[in-house]
């Protein structure tokens, strides 16, 4: 992980770890990459190797289970952990990580705010989020922000140099600089996102009738539906960043994909959501 850090992130991490604030908010990366960065940062602060983090006794990690809200009870349990006395001469001897802090319920966020206002001695709280808008402003204002900037494509190519250019470019196009996902795609030639990518391209190339024919079968596989929406978002976002050609169309695809994703989260009927999406793209 350390080798894959963007140089600016590495420099910032070194500065923070030498004189850590009581609360750090990692913003901008995926849930997985933010978590890996939080472990890297926590290990630097605690002066241990990253591979020893899991066995370190004075740490606590809270993550959402199945994308459900992090409850006030989990924060209360964290606060009990933070009251325990630790016999250690280190400047910082305890770290707590809340991965996906944006998924905390509002009562949980308000409860955590009390801890941020009166931080425990020799303790650092590390929060991660891919959506800081879901956090109350007082949590953000009481935290030092560390933005998770991905390595450049050249840095990634150099790191994954054992893979040929075609393999790298294919995986990179899907991962959009998400290091964790890129690594997974390169290592697994049968990764389900490759099939989703091929299916998405087929959907975009077909006419409305051809797309609707595929809906019936696709709607029976919710995981594949989620992957197709993921690929559509990535394709549209990349196109909007790299070219002005067809920008209105790609913006429409992006908005419609996000709307479909939101509808499915609200338990809308999968087939109906897909039909509306196929008619709109």
- Clarify whether residues 104 and 228 are in a common domain: no
140 with 48, same domain? yes
- Give yes or no: residues 29 and 135 share one domain: yes
Residues 135 and 25 in one domain: yes
* Cβ contact 168:155 at 8 Å: no
Within this chain, do residues 22 and 92 fall inside the same structural domain, yes or no? yes
Among 235, 241, 279, which residue's Cα sits nearest to residue 260?
279
142 and 7 in a common domain: yes
Q: Are residues 100 and 217 in the same domain?
A: no
- Are residues 19 and 110 both part of a single domain? yes
**In this structure, what DSSP letter does residue 152 have?**
P
In a domain, 153, yes or no: no
Residue 22 lies in a domain: yes
Q: How many helices (H) and strands (E) does the chain have?
A: 13, 5
Which residue reads 């709607």 in tokens?
A: 219
Among 147, 170, 205, the domain-final residue is 147
**pLDDT value of position 1:** 43
Task: State the total domains in the chain.
Answer: 2
Residue 12 has pLDDT above 80, yes or no: yes
| Each residue's pLDDT tens digit, 102-132 | 999 999 999 999 999 988 889 999 999 988 8
Q: Is 84 exposed, middle or buried (0-12, 13-18, 19+ CB in 10 A)?
A: exposed
- Torsion (CA) 161, 163, 165, 168 in degrees, nearest 10: -100
Same domain? For 228 and 117 the reply is no
Is residue 169, in this structure, part of any structural domain at all?
no
Instruction: Check whether residue 104 and residue 209 sit in a common domain.
Output: no
Number of neighbouring beta carbons within 10 Å of residue 225? 22
122 with 254, same domain: the answer is no
Domain that holds residue 47: 2-147
Task: Tally the residues of the chain.
Answer: 281
> Has residue 182 been placed in a domain?
no
* pLDDT tens digits for range 139-177: 999 999 999 888 888 889 988 999 999 999 999 999 877
Q: For helices 31-46 and 179-187, what crossing angle results, to 10°?
A: 110
Maximal CA-CA distance, the chain: 69
Residue 257 confidence (pLDDT): 95
Question: Minimal CA–CA distance to 77: which of 111, 49, 127?
Answer: 111
- Residue 160: inside a domain: no
Q: Is residue 271 part of a domain?
A: yes
User: At 178, is the pLDDT very low, low, confident or very high (cuts 50, 70, 90)?
Assistant: confident
Q: Does residue 14 sit in the same domain as residue 113?
A: yes
How many angstroms separate the CA atoms of 260 and 270, rounded? 9
Among 114, 129, 147, residue at a domain's last position: 147
24/140 Cα distance (integer angstroms): 9
The domain that holds 117 is classified in CATH as 3.40.50.300
Q: Judge whether residue 232 has pLDDT over 90.
A: yes
Kind and range of the H or E run holding 95: strand 94-99
Examine the pLDDT at 3 and tell me if it is beyond 60. Answer: no
Name the strands in the sheet holding 94-99, side by side, starting at the edge strand that comes first in the sequence. Answer: 59-63, 94-99, 123-129, 23-27, 144-147
Is residue 152 in some structural domain?
A: no
Strand pairing report for 23-27 and 144-147 = parallel
């Amino acid at each position: 992980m350390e080798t894959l850090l963007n140089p600016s992130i590495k420099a910032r991490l070194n500065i923070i770890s030498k004189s850590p604030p009581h609360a750090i908010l990692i913003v901008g990366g995926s849930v997985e990459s933010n978590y890996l960065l939080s472990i890297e940062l926590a290990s630097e602060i605690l002066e241990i190797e990253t591979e020893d983090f899991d066995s370190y006794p004075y740490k606590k990690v809270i993550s959402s289970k199945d994308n459900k809200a992090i409850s006030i009870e989990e924060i209360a349990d964290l606060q009990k952990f933070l009251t325990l006395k630790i016999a250690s001469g280190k400047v910082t001897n305890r770290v707590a990580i809340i991965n996906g802090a944006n998924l905390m319920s509002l009562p949980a966020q308000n409860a955590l705010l009390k801890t941020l206002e009166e931080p425990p001695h020799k303790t650092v709280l590390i929060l991660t989020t891919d959506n800081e808008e879901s956090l109350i402003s007082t949590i953000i204002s009481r935290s030092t922000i560390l933005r998770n900037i991905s390595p450049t494509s050249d840095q990634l190519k150099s790191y994954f140099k054992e893979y040929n250019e075609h393999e790298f470019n294919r995986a990179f196009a899907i991962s959009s600089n998400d290091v964790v996902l890129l690594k997974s795609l390169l290592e697994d030639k049968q990764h389900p996102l490759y099939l989703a990518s091929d299916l998405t391209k087929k959907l975009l190339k077909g006419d409305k009738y051809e797309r609707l024919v595929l809906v019936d079968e696709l709607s029976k596989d919710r995981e594949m539906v989620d992957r197709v929406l993921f690929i559509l978002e990535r394709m549209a976002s990349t196109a909007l960043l790299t070219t002005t050609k067809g920008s209105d169309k790609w913006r429409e695809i992006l908005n419609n994909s996000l709307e479909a994703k939101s509808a499915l989260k609200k338990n809308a009927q999968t087939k109906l959501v897909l039909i509306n999406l196929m008619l709109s793209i």
